[in-house]
Amino acid sequence: MNKLCQHFIFLFFVIFYTSSLSVYAVEKQSIESFSQNKLWHNLLHYKQKKTNQSYVTSNSFFLDKNGSQDPYAELLATITAFYHSNENYSERKHPQCRFPARFSLITKNVELKRFGELKSVECVEYNKWRNQLNVKSISVVFASGYMSNPASMYGHLFLKLNSAEHSTDLLNTSINYGAIVPKDENPIIYVLRGIFGGYDAGFSDQDFYRHHHNYGDIELRDMWEYKLALSFSEVDFLMAHLWEILGVNFDYFFVDENCAFHIAKFLEIILKDSLIADDSLWVLPGSVAKGLAEVNHNQKSLLSEIVFIPSRETKLQQVYTQLSPTEVNAAQNLIDNDFDFSDTEYHKLSPSERKTVIEALFEYNNVIKHKNDLTLSVRKNLKLLMNERINLPVGRTKWAKNEPNKAAPHFSTAPSKFSLGFTNIEHEKNYLTAGFRMTYFDDLSSNIARAPFSNLEMIDITLIAIDEQLDILNIDLIHINSLYQAPLPWNENLSSAWSVRAGYEQLYNNCFDCGIYFAEGSLGRSFRINTDSLVYSLVGGKIYAGKQDDISLSLKLGYITSINKSIKIKLELKESIGFERDSNNKFKYLSEVNYQLSPDWEVRFVAEKEESFLISVKINYFWGF
């Protein structure tokens, strides 16, 4: 009886074990079936639409002449090529070595018995590349917006490959996606071709320290590193596919098929959920950052950690806060006196305090060097600082790593906006309004993950209901301003301010068939009263045509302040005069209050006096793909 029980128990475990193996075994698919597999389409970078078409434009990426739009033909051609003898190929050119991600995917998922025995090829060059990188994890890095370059105003995304070999993060490899732009390209042509197409683009690899230096030290942009919680096999598969697409050309469009879009699509190869919608009409780096923070992977967060990488300017601000009042004053005296180290205040400091001041001033001059280019005065100052530093104790000052006071970009408000409002003119006429904005924020929006007192809007449309029909109130094709640039420590001069705007609007706020097409620009100065308040003045010009053709000059005085985290107020006075004989001086008063109900909802109250008095209330809803 005992032996019978033992045999029964043994038989039970055999059946259980074999059945469990069948559960975890990968079920092989036919070529016809697997050609429709989403993962196969992702590897070929097909657009997720009814008609397959790849984003890749390089013919060399496909093994079948129709492979860019026929997944079955490309799969069959790929399998056939895997069986080719390696005698007719150079080492890297054999399809098994050229497409290691395809080879891994196909051999695991496709039934290949009818093709016979598949002999694997030794891929020396690919294995050498993998071993040199020795990647243990992958990060996505977000570089903050850069107002001096139209292509970088919304920020930039790139990948960082974290190696187990390097003692410093700067030696890791970064993967960038960008347009291939001719040297000295005309800026207007650059913008037009970026928006409407005309550039090739692709993935390229570079040492991370080059991106760190370019973004953090030269362009003074903060960065956030989103470390991904991926398994070893997932990292391995992404690296195999990266080998396949390095040097391959894609189309480039600034609005949608950009760095953010293709970084997201690259990662979605191993993700069940999408980081961005397949039918996105526009894709911003901030939207992908939101997706990274919100998507779950393997029943947990996709992110293992978020690391703030301060720019050189942010580091200077952090260093400045750690100086004592005596050290701050001594440094100010040195700056004011062209770094004359015989200064009495400086010599009152201990050798350790002098060393701290000198190193802080090194940071200060290095920031000025990149803000104003390397001038002769900065070169001279750095040399004087170096000579003084030689006479002080060895060793570097240990600065504390302050917690960043800047929120990560995934906390920002969604870029697109729908509006619904009510407008009253002269306490007599009431109208309903509706609006849409493609991107991104205005100067009363939340400051999270953007420069304060700035405006970056594209395709902002407001419609008004008049006599049961909708008329266009205004269309801002582009509206950019930067009212404040944070001054450096020891340099409390007035900040420069500027504004650019172009589009279509009504000439007067009480006339709805007085449309004009316009372009305007302004320059000025601003002064920050405290953390939350700014006074600014702008002098500008405007050219317009339509109901009335004219060129006008204007003067603006404004004030922006925050009552708390939810309420912001803007007051502005504007005086303008046209050059036409019948043009009169026009005075405009504007007051606007923004009340943020939640990250996705806000209410705006506007009172405006121009030709007539107007008040309006709008509810704004923010969304993104």
**Residues 417 and 454 placed together within one structural domain of the fold:** yes
Domain boundary among 106, 128, 150: 128
Distance separating alpha carbons of residues 136 and 305, to the nearest angstrom: 15
Band the pLDDT of 237: cuts 50, 70, 90. Answer: very high
pLDDT, position 405 = 72
Give the SS3 label for residue 512: coil
Calculate mean pLDDT across residues 83-104. Answer: 85
What pLDDT, in 10s, does the model give residues 408-417? 999 988 999 9
**Residues 506 and 521 placed together within one structural domain of the fold:** yes
Domain count, the chain: 4
**Residues 337 and 244 placed together within one structural domain of the fold:** no
Q: Do the domain assignments include residue 402? A: no
pLDDT above 90 (res 334): yes
**Residues 213 and 268 placed together within one structural domain of the fold:** yes
Q: How many residues does the chain have?
A: 625
**Residues 300 and 447 placed together within one structural domain of the fold:** no
**Residues 48 and 172 placed together within one structural domain of the fold:** no
What pLDDT, in 10s, does the model give residues 362-388? 999 999 888 776 677 888 999 999 999
**Residues 335 and 299 placed together within one structural domain of the fold:** no
pLDDT, position 166 = 79
**Residues 458 and 591 placed together within one structural domain of the fold:** yes
Q: Are 178 and 187 in contact (CB under 8 A)?
A: no
Q: Do the domain assignments include residue 369? A: yes
Band the pLDDT of 582: cuts 50, 70, 90. Answer: low
Residue type, 309: I
Residue type, 165: E
pLDDT, position 282 = 87
* Residue 251 neighbours by CB under 8 Å, 6+ apart: 55, 57, 197, 199, 200, 201, 257
pLDDT, position 362 = 94
Calculate mean pLDDT across residues 384-399. Answer: 89
Domain boundary among 357, 390, 423: 390
Q: Are 552 and 580 in contact (CB under 8 A)?
A: no
Write down the residue that tokens 């009818």 correspond to.
114
Q: Do the domain assignments include residue 404? A: no
Q: Do the domain assignments include residue 403? A: no
What pLDDT, in 10s, does the model give residues 487-536? 889 887 778 899 999 999 998 888 888 999 999 999 999 999 988 999 99
**Residues 99 and 52 placed together within one structural domain of the fold:** yes
DSSP string, 377-393: HHHHHHHHHHHHHHTS-
Q: Do the domain assignments include residue 401? A: no
Q: Is the dihedral of CA 605, 610, 614, 618 positive or negative?
A: negative
pLDDT, position 4 = 43
**Residues 48 and 196 placed together within one structural domain of the fold:** no
> Which structural domain range is residue 358 located in?
323-390
Calculate mean pLDDT across residues 14-26. Answer: 37
Q: Do the domain assignments include residue 400? A: no
